[in-house]
Amino acid sequence: MTAAASRHMANSFDPARAASLPPADVKLIARRDRAMGAAYRLFYDRPVHVVRGEGVWLYDTDGDAYLDAYNNVPVVGHANPVVQQRVAAQLGVLNTHTRYLGDDVVAYAERVTGLLGHGLEQAVFVCTGSEAVDLALRVARHVTGRRGVIATSHAYHGTTAAAAAISPSLGPNNPIPDEVELIAAPDLASESPAEAAAALASRVTSAVAALRARGHDPAALIIDSVLSSDGLQGTEANVLREAAAAIRAHGGLYIADEVQSGFGRTGAWWGFPSQGVEPDLVVAGKPMGNGMPLAAVFARPEHFDRFGADMRFFNTFGGNQVSVAAGQAVLDELTERGLVERAGVLGASVLNELRGIAAAGNGVGAVRGSGLFFALEVVDDAGRPDAARASAVVNRMRDARVLISASGRDANVLKIRPPLVFAEEHAPILLDALAGALHH
């Protein structure tokens, strides 16, 4: 096992290689290790030292520009001026919590739930996707009076204790408690969408039985609507629909994790509608404030009514006026610039190009895409997952100044997920760099 593999993260920097870096970076990494400790990881064999961003571009200490084809947080662009101006203006006026009455958070809750529809009429604001997942689990367990949760076998849902407990992609040292049952995600490389949907529902039913055998009734099934960490296995319509019906049939709730798929990533505002599911609870985060910490749980009113009647919930920074100003600016930018629609149209075009690269015989197996989120399976000559070559491709692209990463249960899936300001003129840069890195 390589040192990187022992760190249980695709595309993780191996500190043993630090000596080959520029002296200033070696020194900074040493200071970082000393002051921030061993739990932090850097990306790439040669970490990128970023000092500035603008739109889809990040710039390093030498002034070199990197095309950002990875970051889903700065959805309306690095250093977006509308976000900057609104946040700066609000910081000069008021930034306080929700125990005083205020218009801003109410107006934002109304706007964002209006974009959700599907009976998800209420929002509770927190600061991170992890907090949102954690709260959704608390709500699901409280309203059902049950403890069991079902998640997919390479899922990532967050880092609080409760969220990490349903995040097996954190590696073998991350304990999964006996009230959690993991099920294999669909495998769209080997199953048709209809087969995948039926098989997933069948695994939910088996998981319910397994939980009950350990004394836990099922409170919830939680699935990332595009199954990102499982290798972007949620790109086909209705693959999750029967699984959602199965958990409901057993009295559990369905939680749609939209931290990855929400706010336009897939070419639609949310990932779950194309899956044909009607979630009880939805969690959202990363792109919501373009990097300002803003996240939320959305729910059918009966769930928050029940939870709220018994419990109070308060997040000091959740829904503060400054985070809400960022959230409103993101919605304005996405809407006024037509970024959601473009993610769909441009995404389809890029996906087509990626399939062309794969068909040309570059050691790429399945290619999947949903809006501006793409996954390419890097395989060896026998068609088996090839994590080492995926890592080499990611690092060659970094050297060509195009930022992507790798993920999936076998760490062989190239993960391409640019900010939604990624436009037509950026696609050739990405595609050329990818083709070059694959041909190497």
Query: Residue 159 or residue 275: which is nearer to a copy of itself going by CB?
Result: 159
Q: Should residue 56 be labelled a site residue for a copy of itself when binding is judged by CB under 8 A?
A: no
CA distance 73 to 66: 16
b vs e for 95-124, b when ≥16 Cβ sit within 10 Å of the residue's Cβ?
Answer: eeebeeebebbeebbeebbebbebebbbbb
Q: Positive or negative CA dihedral for 42, 74, 71, 427? A: negative
Residue 338: exposure state from Cβ atoms within 10 A (0-12, 13-18, ≥19): exposed
Q: Give the neighbor-by-neighbor strand order of the sheet with 180-183.
A: 122-126, 295-299, 281-284, 253-257, 218-224, 148-152, 180-183
Stretch of 69-77, 211-219, 271-279, 373-381 contacting a copy of itself, by CB under 8 A: 69-77
Query: Residue 143 or residue 210: which is nearer to a copy of itself going by CB?
Result: 143
Q: Should residue 28 be labelled a site residue for a copy of itself when binding is judged by CB under 8 A?
A: yes
Q: Should residue 113 be labelled a site residue for a copy of itself when binding is judged by CB under 8 A?
A: yes
With CB under 8 A as the rule, give the number of residues binding a copy of itself: 103
DSSP for residue 21: S
- Region 137-196 residues binding a copy of itself, contact defined as CB under 8 A: 137-138, 159-162, 164, 170-171, 173-174
CB 355 within 8 A of CB 340: no
CB of 317 to a copy of itself, least distance (A): 4
Question: What is the Cβ-side half-sphere exposure of residue 150, based on CA atoms within 13 angstroms?
Answer: 32
Length of the chain: 440
Identify the residue among 128, 229, 266, 391 touching a copy of itself (CB under 8 A).
128
* Per-position x/- string for 298-337, each x denoting binding to a copy of itself as judged by CB under 8 A, each - no binding: -x-x--xx-xxxxxxxxxxxxxx-xx--------------
DSSP for residue 66: E
Identify the residue among 10, 56, 67, 74 touching a copy of itself (CB under 8 A).
74
Q: How many CB atoms lie within 10 A of CB 238?
A: 14
Nearest partner of 272 among 295, 250, 298, 301, judged by Cα: 298
Identify the residue among 2, 96, 192, 349 touching a copy of itself (CB under 8 A).
96
Identify the residue among 62, 63, 103, 382 touching a copy of itself (CB under 8 A).
103
CA distance 49 to 378: 27
- Region 262-291 residues binding a copy of itself, contact defined as CB under 8 A: 285-286, 291
Q: Should residue 382 be labelled a site residue for a copy of itself when binding is judged by CB under 8 A?
A: no
Q: Should residue 407 be labelled a site residue for a copy of itself when binding is judged by CB under 8 A?
A: no
Query: Residue 40 or residue 338: which is nearer to a copy of itself going by CB?
Result: 40
Query: Residue 161 or residue 348: which is nearer to a copy of itself going by CB?
Result: 161
Q: Should residue 102 be labelled a site residue for a copy of itself when binding is judged by CB under 8 A?
A: yes
Q: Should residue 220 be labelled a site residue for a copy of itself when binding is judged by CB under 8 A?
A: no
Query: Residue 186 or residue 279: which is nearer to a copy of itself going by CB?
Result: 279
CB of 352 to a copy of itself, least distance (A): 30
Q: Should residue 260 be labelled a site residue for a copy of itself when binding is judged by CB under 8 A?
A: no
